[in-house]
């Protein structure tokens, strides 16, 4: 089952990395680009983590769950910032804080993985 999710983790890593670069480019133009820069930073920070979790997927028991929680949290956080930047308001109430909590939870799941024996 988990083996079938590995391609999705790699795709999400690439998606976040590409999004981060595009958001950084967009943030270099215009007047108030603070939200775009923050969204870019979160995407670019988490894309390589997902790649690492993809690589470690077979050996780290919490890799898949960590990757998905981090990806969803990052997309929710960045998506809310983008929605606010383009004047549409929040995606929904508390979307960015929920995304931030998701990212924190993903990192904690990764940390918990240190206490499980490696799988072969």
User: Can you give the pLDDT at residue 19?
Assistant: 97
User: Can you give the pLDDT at residue 111?
Assistant: 96
User: Can you give the pLDDT at residue 2?
Assistant: 65
65 in Cβ contact with 18 (< 8 Å): no
The H helix count followed by the E strand count for the chain is 4, 0
Rounded distance between C-alpha atoms, residue 53 and residue 33, angstroms: 31
pTM: 0.91
State pLDDT tens for residues 74-95: 999 999 999 999 988 999 999 9
Share of the chain above pLDDT 90, in %: 79
Residue 86: phi, psi to the nearest 5? -85, 10
Q: Could you tell me the two tokens for 44? A: 């670019």
For tokens 């930073």, name the residue: 41
């Amino acid at each position: 089952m988990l083996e079938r999710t590995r391609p999705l983790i790699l795709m999400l890593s690439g998606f976040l990395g590409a999004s981060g670069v595009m958001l950084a480019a967009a943030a270099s133009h215009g007047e108030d680009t603070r939200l775009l820069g923050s969204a870019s930073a979160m995407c670019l920070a988490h894309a390589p983590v997902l790649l690492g979790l993809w690589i470690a997927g077979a050996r780290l028991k919490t890799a898949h769950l960590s990757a998905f929680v981090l990806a969803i949290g990052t997309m929710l956080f960045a998506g809310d910032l983008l929605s606010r930047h383009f004047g549409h308001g929040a995606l929904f109430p508390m979307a960015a804080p929920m995304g931030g909590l998701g990212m924190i939870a993903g990192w904690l799941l990764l940390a918990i993985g240190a206490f499980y024996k490696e799988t072969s």
